[in-house]
């Protein structure tokens, strides 16, 4: 019985430590994103909020939080990320030329998402149980870094997402995924020649039947009418902007769609 109690205490401490690391990593990711943004009152406010969260989380090893305090902190951190994302969008719009098409609104709520605390606790325990062993995690992170350094952005993004499946608030994976997504969007837009060109179906109905097309490709093709510009096709598809750009680029590479 004594051994069982000791084992339970050790496991509880390990889960608590992992949760602390998750929260700390999420704050670090927000601060890293803010560092690349121009100075503003909102940036200063968010940095103060991030520092306040970091100080509170730093005290957890000495004074473990209650379940309510931990969930309240995770909500604060999530609201912080939503605010940082909004500030990133404002900065991106401000940097565009006056006649450029503004980036599509991200599909996210303006306020922090609502949480079922019991559901979150169960989900977080399941995710913590899925965290790779230290050696496996190190190998995966190293693979992600190498792919990113070599400019293999699709590969780096795929590895980063696999890490996030195991550790949803993995700071480096979140940052790498964001950087890859941004860089790939720019690359896709350059390959497509901008948002004003008009996608045209380049394959006949007979040829089209020979291709294997997924739901994303079909969502794009449904709006390719030879008159609607790229930007409108992407929006009308109902897909997230990055996914839609990748799908249209793939269709062009396969010779199914051409751009005029």
Shared-domain flag, residues 172 and 88: no
Neighbours of 63 (CB within 10 A): 8
Shared-domain flag, residues 2 and 95: yes
What's this model's pTM, rounded to 2 decimal places?
Answer: 0.47
Q: How many structural domains comprise the chain? A: 3
Q: How far apart are the first and last CA of the chain?
A: 75
Tens digits of residue pLDDT in 127-182: 444 444 545 566 788 888 888 888 888 888 988 888 888 777 788 888 888 888 88
209 CB-contact burial (10 Å; exposed 0-12 / middle 13-18 / buried 19+) = exposed
Residue 120 has pLDDT above 60, yes or no: no
Tens digits of residue pLDDT in 186-196: 888 888 888 88
Domain that holds residue 169: 132-192
Tens digits of residue pLDDT in 46-88: 999 989 988 888 888 888 888 778 778 877 877 787 788 778 8
Shared-domain flag, residues 32 and 65: yes
Shared-domain flag, residues 78 and 160: no
Residue 12 has pLDDT above 60, yes or no: no
- CA separation for the pair 168, 123 (Å, rounded): 11
Q: Are 108 and 85 in contact (CB under 8 A)?
A: yes
Shared-domain flag, residues 50 and 139: no
Residue 40 has pLDDT above 50, yes or no: yes
**Where does a domain end: 192, 215, 230?**
192
∠ CA 106-109-115, nearest 5°, is 135
**Tokens encoding 66:** 């209650």
Shared-domain flag, residues 201 and 178: no
């Amino acid at each position: 019985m004594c051994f069982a109690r000791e084992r339970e205490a050790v496991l509880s401490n390990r889960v608590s430590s992992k949760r602390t690391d998750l929260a700390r990593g999420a704050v670090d990711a927000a601060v890293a994103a803010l560092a690349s943004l121009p100075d503003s009152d909102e940036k200063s406010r968010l940095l103060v909020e991030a520092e306040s969260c970091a100080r509170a989380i730093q005290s957890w090893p000495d004074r473990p939080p209650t379940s309510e305090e931990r969930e309240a902190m995770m909500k604060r951190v999530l609201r912080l990320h939503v605010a940082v994302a909004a500030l990133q969008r404002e900065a991106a719009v401000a940097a565009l030329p006056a006649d450029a098409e503004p980036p599509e609104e991200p599909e996210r709520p303006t306020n922090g998402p609502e949480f079922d605390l019991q559901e979150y606790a169960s989900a977080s325990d399941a995710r913590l149980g899925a965290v790779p062993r230290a050696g496996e995690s190190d190998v995966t992170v190293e693979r992600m870094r190498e792919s990113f350094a070599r400019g293999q952005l699709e590969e780096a993004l795929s590895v980063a997402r696999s890490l996030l499946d195991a550790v949803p608030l993995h700071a480096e994976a979140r940052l790498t995924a964001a950087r890859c997504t941004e860089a790939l969007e720019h690359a896709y837009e350059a390959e497509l020649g901008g948002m004003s060109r008009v996608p045209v179906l380049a394959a006949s109905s007979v040829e089209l039947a020979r291709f294997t097309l997924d739901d994303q490709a079909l969502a794009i093709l449904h709006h390719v009418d030879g008159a609607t510009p790229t930007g409108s096709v992407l929006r009308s598809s109902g897909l997230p902007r990055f996914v839609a750009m990748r799908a249209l680029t793939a269709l062009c590479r396969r010779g199914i769609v051409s751009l005029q």
